[in-house]
Structure 1
């Protein structure tokens, strides 16, 4: 799980202000078997989101941190505290 968290954070760093789909992370790591890793990357994504390390949105609206979202989501850098 830690490798997926690291990969998500690396994508955030590289994308800077652009959001991305969790599938992009696992596609880059496991091009042939990426679908097998979708549940894992979504779990890692939600752990990082609950920690405040990233933002997770669906149709531009932040998802609930208590529930695993259904359907497509986007990941981006966490907003900096003001």
Structure 2
């Protein structure tokens, strides 16, 4: 006795891309429009304010300690997660890091770059470095 698995509902041809896409990926693509923030990216409340301030100080320490080099935001999130004894759940701290980066960027205490190009605001992948001073 052989079992047949229905492949048609799992994989289907996409007319725009010309390739195949799984039903799971298609569902994910139908979610929110490109560029729209995830609903959990904003951190609120008094406890979160403390977490953002903690993230700000951690970012500034990393930037000062690695002066000519840049820091990835995920490195800061990993440090924060390790400080809370949940090192494998560092992704949960990324919204806090993003908000802290926005605050520090508005104050002019850090600079964001991607592939050595300075960014005026946080969008897509980025690296964190100290402020760029004009000579």
TM-score bracket for the superposition, by shorter chain length:
0.7 to 0.9
What displacement does 1:53 show?
0.1
Q: 2:88 aligns with which of 32, 55, 69?
A: 32
Q: Deviations over 1:1-30 (max 9, x none)?
A: 100000000001111111010100111221
Q: Which runs of 4+ in 1 moved over 2 A?
A: none
Aligned match of 1:76 = 129
Q: Which moved more, 1:3-12 or 1:22-31?
A: 22-31
* Total equivalences in the alignment: 79
1:39-50 equivalence runs, <5 A: 39-50=95-106
Gaps of 5+ in 2: 1-51, 82-86
Using structure 1 for the length normalisation, give the TM-score: 0.85
Q: Please state whether the residue corresponding to 2:88 is helix, strand or coil.
A: coil
Q: Distance in 2 between matches of 1:4 and 1:56?
A: 16
| Residues 80, 93 of structure 2: 8 Å contact kept | no
- Larger helix share, 1 or 2: 1
RMSD: 1.3
Q: 1:3 aligns with which of 41, 54, 62?
A: 54
Q: Distance in 1 between matches of 2:95 and 2:80?
A: 14
Q: Please state whether the residue corresponding to 2:120 is helix, strand or coil.
A: coil
Larger Rg: 2
Using structure 2 for the length normalisation, give the TM-score: 0.54
